[in-house]
C-alpha cells in the first residue's frame, strides 16, 4: 500500500505541490481569525468531565481555575518549624495576589488528606477567582514567585490543569 502511495506521490508531485500551495494561499486570509477561535480548558464540549466541572461550580461554588502546590522534603516533616516557615514563605506572595480567592493547606484546614502518610509531603490548593483562560494568563506571574530550587530542605512543585496547560502552551 505504501509503495503504491509513494509511486503515486512521485508521479504526480507537481500537481500535489500546486494543490497544497493553492490551499495554503486560499487559507491565508482566514489565519488571523484562528487565534480568536481557540480556547483553553475543555471548551464547549458536552463531555462528562465538563458536566462534572459545571456541577462542581454550580453546587459547591468550586472554581475551575485551581492548582495544587506540592511541598516535599527528604529530611524534615510537616511538624518541623523549618517546613512550616518555608511553606509560609512560598505562599505569602501568592496569597497577596488579589485574584487568589483561597489557599487551603493542612495548617489552615487540618485535613489529613493533604498530608502523606510519612508526613514529608503536603499540598496547598490555590483557588483563583478567575475563569480557566484568565487563570492561565495569571499563572506565569504566580510561577515566578515560586522557589526555583530546594530551599530550606523543602521542594515545591506546581501541578493541576492550569500549570499543565500553561506549560503546554509555552512549549
Q: What is the pLDDT along the chain (171 residues), one digit of tens a residue?
A: 899 999 999 999 999 999 999 999 998 888 887 766 665 554 556 778 777 767 777 776 667 788 899 999 888 888 888 888 888 998 999 999 999 888 888 888 877 888 889 989 999 989 988 888 888 888 888 888 887 666 667 888 888 888 888 888 777
User: Which DSSP symbol is given to 166?
Assistant: H
For 127, list phi and psi in degrees, rounded to 5: -105, 130
Among the listed residues 108, 101, 60, the one whose alpha carbon sits nearest the alpha carbon of residue 84: 108
pTM (2 d.p.): 0.66
How far is residue 64's CA from residue 131's CA, in Å, rounded to a whole number? Answer: 6
How far is residue 131's CA from residue 43's CA, in Å, rounded to a whole number? Answer: 12
Helix, strand and coil in the chain, % to nearest 5: 55, 15, 30
Amino acid at each position: 500500500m505504501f509503495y503504491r502511495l509513494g509511486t503515486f506521490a512521485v508521479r504526480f508531485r507537481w500537481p500535489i505541490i500546486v494543490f497544497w500551495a493553492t490551499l495554503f494561499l486560499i487559507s491565508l486570509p482566514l489565519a488571523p481569525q484562528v487565534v480568536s477561535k481557540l480556547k483553553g480548558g475543555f471548551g464547549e464540549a458536552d463531555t462528562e468531565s465538563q458536566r462534572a466541572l459545571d456541577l462542581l461550580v454550580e453546587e459547591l461554588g468550586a472554581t475551575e481555575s485551581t492548582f495544587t502546590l506540592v511541598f516535599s522534603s527528604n529530611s524534615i516533616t510537616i511538624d518541623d518549624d523549618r517546613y512550616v516557615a518555608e511553606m509560609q514563605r512560598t505562599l505569602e506572595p501568592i496569597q497577596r495576589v488579589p485574584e487568589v480567592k483561597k489557599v487551603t493547606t493542612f495548617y489552615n484546614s487540618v485535613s489529613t488528606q493533604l498530608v502523606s502518610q510519612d508526613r514529608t509531603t503536603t499540598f496547598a490548593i490555590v483557588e483563583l477567582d478567575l475563569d480557566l483562560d484568565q487563570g492561565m494568563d495569571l499563572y506565569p506571574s504566580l510561577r515566578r514567585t515560586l522557589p526555583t530550587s530546594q530551599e530550606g530542605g523543602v521542594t515545591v512543585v506546581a501541578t493541576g490543569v492550569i500549570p499543565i496547560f500553561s506549560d503546554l502552551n509555552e512549549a
